[in-house]
């Protein structure tokens, strides 16, 4: 019984295979499978006579290694950050560990970057020379000859504005009798007012007189109504009689030229058109 049992099992399995083979559908399926196997596993099965009881399985091919992805080039900003980081590291190393090698490495690298910066500056200047839209010195010259011509033209334009100023604007001048800066500023304001025939209303913040403005008025809340900083003298304010609004000019001592420039800019130039 122990010998015959395996043999009977083999016979039963063979009978089942034979029965399946007799079915038309099974035969067609077996044919297709055989053809596919013959095509795919011809080398490993059909041409290798391994015997009735051997099963042939095509070995799974080893996965192909993926091609290495090309490294993306660093951006210019990343390169600049790397240079800055290297420079800082070399400097820190030279300061903390000042050996001849560390100091020399830092000096050499720094010199390379100075040369790079000099090249950039040179190319920058050449680009400006060749493109008038980039040359700011055409609007605000720096050369002696061109600068004088620009200043003369600007002064003429400013004087024309100042000559018409009294038609629309007047001046509020807040001063104090005990203010040392007011003693310096009062004659300047007086000279500008006389030159351009501007009406000046002098306001004494402490009630004291002014020898330059004998018709002064004592402050009675004018500064607060104009929204000015309290307690600061001298203070100069333009009054726009058309728009009925104050235009603060400045606090403290101003030269005559600076005072006229501020009036000119605040009344004749829009922000961003003269810088």
Domain 146-268: CATH architecture, name and number where available = 3-Layer(aba) Sandwich (3.40)
Per-residue confidence at 18, pLDDT binned at 50, 70, 90? Answer: very low
**Interatomic CA distance for residues 162 and 274, integer angstroms:** 17
**Interatomic CA distance for residues 199 and 145, integer angstroms:** 37
More confident residue, 147 or 71: 147
Of the candidate ranges 50-64, 118-132, 188-202, the one whose mean pLDDT is the lowest: 50-64
pLDDT tens for each residue of 179-237: 999 999 999 999 999 999 999 999 999 999 999 999 999 999 998 899 888 889 999 99
Q: Where are the domains of the chain?
A: 77-129, 146-268
Region 89-117: mean pLDDT is 96
Residue 275 has a pLDDT of 58
**Interatomic CA distance for residues 115 and 95, integer angstroms:** 23
**Interatomic CA distance for residues 13 and 225, integer angstroms:** 113
How many Cβ atoms are within 10 Å of 94's Cβ, its own excluded?
Answer: 20
């Amino acid at each position: 019984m122990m010998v015959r049992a395996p043999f009977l099992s083999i016979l039963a399995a063979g009978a089942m295979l034979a029965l399946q083979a007799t079915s038309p559908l099974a035969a067609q399926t077996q044919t297709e499978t055989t053809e596919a196997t013959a095509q795919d596993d011809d080398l490993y099965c059909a041409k290798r006579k391994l015997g009735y009881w051997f099963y042939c399985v095509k070995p799974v091919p080893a996965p192909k290694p993926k091609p290495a992805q090309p490294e993306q080039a660093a951006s210019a900003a990343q390169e600049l950050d790397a240079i800055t980081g290297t420079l800082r590291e070399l400097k820190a190393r030279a300061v903390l560990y000042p050996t001849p090698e560390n100091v020399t490495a830092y000096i050499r690298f720094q010199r390379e970057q100075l040369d790079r910066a000099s090249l950039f500056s040179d190319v920058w200047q050449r680009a400006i020379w060749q493109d008038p839209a980039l040359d700011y010195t055409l609007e605000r010259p720096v050369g002696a000859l061109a600068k004088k011509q620009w200043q003369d033209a600007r002064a003429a334009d400013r004087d024309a504005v100042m000559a018409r100023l009294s038609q629309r604007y007047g001046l509020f001048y807040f001063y104090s009798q005990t203010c040392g800066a007011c003693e310096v500023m009062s004659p300047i304001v007086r000279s500008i007012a006389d030159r351009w025939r501007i009406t000046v209303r002098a306001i004494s913040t402490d009630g004291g007189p002014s020898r330059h403005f004998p018709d002064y008025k004592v402050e009675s809340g004018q500064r607060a109504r104009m929204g000015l900083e309290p307690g600061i003298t001298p203070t100069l304010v333009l009054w726009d009689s058309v728009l009925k609004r104050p235009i603060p000019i400045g606090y403290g001592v101003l030269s005559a030229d600076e005072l006229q420039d501020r009036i000119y800019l605040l009344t004749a130039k829009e922000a961003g058109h003269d810088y």
